[in-house]
Amino acid sequence: MSQKNWGHLMPSKKAFNLKKASLSLKLGAIIGILFLHIPLFLIILYAFTTEDKSYQFPPPGYTLKWFSIVLGREDIWSAVYLSIHVALVSTFAAIILGTLAAAALYKADFFGKQSITLLIILPIALPGIITGISLRSAYGVVGIPFSTWTIIISHATFCMVVVYNNVVARLRRTSPNIIQASMDLGANNFQTFFYIILPNLGTAILAGGMLAFALSFDEVIVTTFTAGQQTTLPIWMLSELIRPRQRPITNVVAVFIICITFIPILYASYVTRNTTDIEGSSK
């Protein structure tokens, strides 16, 4: 048998090279990433355009004046305040409820555990419109008038799962031995909780809370059904999307929304940079 036929049993020359992707794969990946990001860059570009009647590209000129106009807009500011208010309070509720659920479920195994896990995920897994209408008609049946609180209750319901996912992932990787060790060294339960468990969970809770904030801050569907006459920033944005009346203002608000959601997301991935806590599939 000639040597050629044995070639495939030799240590392969074509061995899978981690450094070298084929050109088409590289191109595919680059095009994909560009596809994900060019639209966001465009919005930033449009915030500076002098054109205010259409979405003309390339912009005929550049100006900063829309930013100063937005700064003076009372209606936008009150929408921003409402959105931040709602996001802060519902994140707070989601942190408490999500952490408790994670603490109960991460290790225990009991009848019905699967159903409870499903129940936690369901508000985000089902289409927002179903969650929204359900809550809306429930408020109607019980006779709760729409207020900031009806939005907050709705948001906390679907933000819980984000905190839950982050904390559960952290708890699974935390050794139970350190709790035992703390107890053996004479700490009582409260000391163990505050000095050992909480610092361990800290960044996971923080990251979960950040993502919950970002999620609540730009949620629009459930909000549409549970806000009554109130205008959060996404609801303002949606009305402009349906009937564009103030294009340049909308562009600037969009940039503002990008900034205010990017900060918590970047921070969340920064505090958990050495772990794999933030699972995208959790959204």
Partner 1 sequence: MSNFSNYLFKNKHLLLLFFLLPPLLWLSIIYLGSLLVFLFHSFFYLDGFTGKIVYKISLNTIIELFSSAANIDILIRTTILAAFVSIGAAIIGFPIAYYMAKFTSPKMKIFFYLAIMLPLWSSYLVRVYSWKLILAKEGILNWFFSKLHATWILDFILSMPVIGGPSLSISYLGMFLVFTYIWLPFMILPIHASLERVPNSLINASYDLGASKRQTFYKVILPLALPGIAAGSIFTFSLTLGDYIIPYIIGTSKFFIGQAVYTHQGVAGNIPLAAAFSLVPIAIMTIYIYVAKKLGAFNAL
Copy the structure tokens of residue 252: 């600037």
Residue choice 50, 62, 77, 126 for contact with partner 1 (CB under 8 A): 126
Binding to partner 1 by residue 37, rule CB under 8 A?
A: yes
Least distance from C-beta 214 to partner 1, angstroms? 5
4 binds partner 1 (CB under 8 A): no
Binding mask 190-229 for partner 1 (x = CB under 8 A): x--------------------x--xx-xx-xx--------
**23 near partner 1 (CB under 8 A):** no
Q: What residues numbered 159-188 form the site for partner 1, per CB under 8 A? A: 160, 188
CA angle 260, 264, 267 (to 5 degrees): 135
Based on the shown chain and the rule CB under 8 A, indicate whether residue 57 belongs to the binding site for partner 1: yes
CB of 72 to partner 1, least distance (A): 22
Output 88 or 133, the one with its CB closest to partner 1.
133
- Please, which residue, 71 or 119, has the CB nearer to partner 1? 119
Read off φ and ψ for residue 269, nearest 5 degrees: -75, -25
Given a contact cutoff of 8 angstroms between Cβ atoms, the answer to whether 230 and 78 are in contact is no
Q: Which of residues 82-101 bind partner 1 (CB under 8 A)?
A: 96-98, 100-101
What are the Cα distances from residue 111, in Å, to 116, 117, 123, 234, 279? 10, 12, 22, 41, 27
Q: What is the DSSP string of 67-125?
A: HHHHHT-HHHHHHHHHHHHHHHHHHHHHHHHHHHHHHHHSS---TTHHHHHHHHHHHHH
Query: What sign does the dihedral 244-248-251-256 (CA atoms) show?
Result: negative
With binding defined as CB under 8 A, does residue 237 bind partner 1? yes
Q: Does 241 bind partner 1 (CB under 8 A)?
A: yes
